[in-house]
Structures are given as structure tokens and as C-alpha cells.
Structure 1
Amino acid sequence: MENRYNKISTLEEALERINDGTTVMFGGFGGIGSPPTLIDGLLEKNVRDLTLIGNDTGFPNIGIGKLVSRGHAKKCIVSHIGSNPVAGQLMTEGKMEIEFSPQGTLAERIRAGGVGLGGILVDVGIDNEIVSNGKQIIHVDGTDYLLEKPLTADVSIIFAKKADPFGNLVYDKSARNMNPLVAMAGKFTIAEVEEIVPLSELDPEEIVTPGIYVDMIIESRGVNWKWVWE
């Protein structure tokens, strides 16, 4: 019987959850806060045809950009791709589909997926044929809104500073970014963490993501936030 109070696992077991065609939601903002060990593991496993959902496509050799730049994604749902010119090239050549969402809308769509809402109503782009194409218009109190559908994923991969065995998570400053929302929106959530501490050692006031949202924990093999173009 699975021990719900001890979710510590290995990279190998985590990677078994992600295979060709999996929809993967990831935390991070330009690479900061993305789970490096899991991303490198997916590269080594050579998983293909992924649908990736997150803030951006990282940099060519930083964050989720490693997977994007090497052609492992068939589609990305993101707020921008400007920091990764390879993503733009793949989109232009028709080798990867990109669905854009404004950053705030994207965050709310992920949150909606995590809490079980049927969607969110926004007025951003309602007068733009490209943005509003194919989207349902909802009329509320004299105002029209676009219905933006919630986002969920087969697997969410996130990164945190600390965890206890139950999966309660503490983040490190701006590396928190999209991770708490992404944690809620995955059918199965894997947290890569820098440090695992015993139960009851975390201050309840510093816990951001409760362990109820986390299914598996792995220890990070090292984080390098060096901003370089290789």
C-alpha cells in the first residue's frame, strides 16, 4: 500500500510517468524555477511529441527551452517565446504549434484547471478577430467576455527549495513564480526539490503549496542559474 506520508521517490520512477505524447505542465519563468533534473532526465529518455504548458519556452539551453530547442515538443501553450529564437523558428517552419495566452490569462487558466472551474471570462482581445476566433462569447451584466478554457495536464513538474516527505513545499523568492499554480493543475504532480527535511520541520507559515497537491518528490541533482547562451 502506498504511503501517502512519504512521497520521496527517484528520478527513474518520476520519468516513468512521462512518455511520448504526454501533456506536461511546468513551473518556471525564463528558466528560473524550472526543474532542471527532470528536464535533463526527459532529454536523456528522448521523450517526443510533448505538449508543454507554462509561462514561456525558456532559453535555447536553459529551462524548458532545452526540450523545445531539440524538437521534443509538438505544441506549447505559453505567454511568449521571445527569449528562445529556436522556438520561433520551429513555429515559423510549422514544426511546432504555439498557442499564445496573455500572461495573466494563462495563469488564471492554470488556476481554473487546478480548482475545477469551467473557465474564466476575460475581455482581453474580444475586439481582435485573431484572439477571439473560435472562442465563446459570454454576456454578463451588459458586457461581453471571451470564455477562456481551463488548463490541466497529465503531469505537472515543478521546482521548490524545500519539501517534507508529505510534499509540503517552500519556494525560494522569485523561483516561486508559476510553480504553485502548476502544482494544482496536474493530474499527477512531481516536485523536484533542493532539500528534503523531516516531517514537522517546516514552519507552517512558510509553506506555499500543501502536500495534498504533490504526488511525488525527487531530490534535485543540482541547480545552475547561470544565464549564458551556449
Structure 2
Amino acid sequence: MKTKVYDSAAAALDGLLTDGMTIAAGGFGLCGIPELLIAAIRDAGVKELTVASNNAGVDDFGLGVLLQTRQVKKMISSYVGENAEFMRQYLSGELELEFNPQGTLAERMRAGGAGIPGFFTKTGVGTVIAEGKEHKDFDGQTYILERGIVADLAIVKAWKGDAQGNLIYRKTARNFNPNAATCGRICVAEVEEIVPVGSLDPDCIHTPGIFVHRIIQGPHEKRIEQRTVRTA
């Protein structure tokens, strides 16, 4: 059986990256972001990317590095406030942005992974989010149609994984990662630790290995997005 374990992020992405592709990325702020895979995408030089992610990290870390190098054409996101370059490119018309409420974005990824092409939600009705979308009434309430996201590639970050690709996320680092992992035609995961097959409690696995095609282990930087302290 061909192994899913690769030696580096660059090796795990080899043959998967093309200009104009759509990438679903797990993470929330700087928590649970696939930083090694993002850096490898930057180094590969692919461009005109569409990236579905809650936000884009900060200016010099996470998906922000792909904005710095102008490799992203469009973001499908909920929040832009922590990344000054993201905001600047959007306001200047250099970057296309599809705003999604966070719950809607998570459900769009989950739906895409479950083979559901679309769903109706009340979230966004009567706002710019609803413009150009199908409206339908259910039980006297108006809903809008949101399409499931199916990405060419999903990149996620987990705490532990095994050689079969079974993944466990740690606490809030789960965030968008489980949904993102399922909606990619190919999923590449980076983990803090690869453990022996059979050592993970099946009841504790968040992403089954059937969804994960390639996996790497690597060192990760534990950044704090907003450090707040008080005088001693």
C-alpha cells in the first residue's frame, strides 16, 4: 500500500498545485492553521488562487504570506480585520472577496464534503450577503440558497495523526479544520505528531483517514494573535 506519510510540506504538495485552483484551508485566526503547507504553497509560486478560509491570518503569518506575494485572486471568508494587507487589497479592488457568515462558511464546507450541492439558510437575508441568491419561503420565513464548497485541495492542521490519515484536533484548533478536510478533492494534513496506527481511540478521531490523502509531521510556531497583559 502506498504510504500517506511524506517527509515535507513541499513533497506532500508535489503534483497537486496549479494556477487558478481553489483551496479550502482550516484554521481560525492563528489557531489550527496549516502554516507549513501555506509556506510551501508560497514557495511553489502558484497564482490566481481562490482560498476559502475564515480569515487570512496576519500580515506575515498564515495565509497572509500568500496575500503579500499576490498569489491569491479571491478569498471566501468571514473576517478581514486582523490582516491589514487583506483589508488594503480588498478596499483597493486588487482582491475579490466573497463574504460569508462564519456558520454559513462552515456549513458550505461541510455540505460540499457530504455531497450536498446547496442548502437554504436564514442567515444573511435582507443584507448584501443575499444579493443575487435564490430566495425561498419555508413556513412563512425567507431563506437564501448557499452553495456547498468543493475545493481542489484542502489543507488542514491537526494535533495528532497516524499513517492512515486519522486525525485528532486539539481543543479550539478543531474550528474549521474538520469541515475543510472533507470538502477537498484532495486533502493534505500537517500534524504535530504522527503516532502508530491503532494507538488513537476510534471514538476520539475527528477526521477519519478516508478523507486524508497525504500527511506530514513538522515543527509549528505557537503565535498569539493579540497579546493582552496588565501592569504587574
TM-score tier (shorter): over 0.9
Shift of 1:228: 6.6
**In 1, distance between residues paired with 2:40 and 2:124?**
38
1:174 aligns with 2:172: yes
| 1:32 to partner: Cα distance | 1.3
Query: 1:174: Cα distance to partner?
Result: 1.4
Q: Is the 8 A contact 1:8 1:165 kept in 2?
A: yes
Q: Secondary structure at the match of 1:111?
A: helix
Amino acid at match of 1:215: H
Alignment root-mean-square deviation, CA: 1.5
Q: Structure 1: 5+ residue runs without aligned partners?
A: none
Number of aligned positions between the proteins? 224
Residue 8 of structure 1 corresponds to 5
How far apart, in 2, do the equivalents of 1:19 and 1:84 lie? 25
Residue 13 of structure 1 deviates from its aligned partner by 3.1
Paired AA for residue 83 in structure 1: E
Q: Give the TM-score of the pair, scaled to structure 1.
A: 0.92
| Identity fraction in percent | 41
Out of 209, 215, 218, which is 1:217 matched to? 215
d(CA) in 2 for partners of 1:152, 1:126: 24
Q: Distance in 2 between matches of 1:213 and 1:66?
A: 27
Q: Secondary structure at the match of 1:144?
A: strand
User: Distance between the aligned counterparts of 1:69 and 1:115, measured in 2?
Assistant: 33
Residue deviations 1:95-128, cap 9 Å, x none? Answer: 1101000111111111111101121211123223
Give 1:193 deviation, angstroms.
1.0
Alignment of structure 1 residues 94-173 onto 2, 5 Å: 94-128=93-127, 130-173=128-171
Unaligned runs of 5+ residues in structure 2 are 227-232
The CA distance in 2 between the partners of 1:178 and 1:125, in whole Å, is 20
Contact 1:32 1:63 in 2 (8 A): no
Distance 1:82 1:70 in 2: 19
Q: 1:198 to 1:100 in 2, by over 3 A?
A: same
Q: Deviations over 1:156-201 (max 9, x none)?
A: 0001111111100011221111100001000000011111111111
Equivalent pair of 2:30/2:224 in contact (CA under 8 Å): no
Paired residue type of 2:35: P
The TM-score, its normalising length taken from structure 2, stands at: 0.91
Partner-residue secondary structure (3-state), 1:31:
coil
User: What is the SS of the residue equivalent to 1:190?
Assistant: strand
User: Which residue in 1 is equivalent to 2:229?
Assistant: none
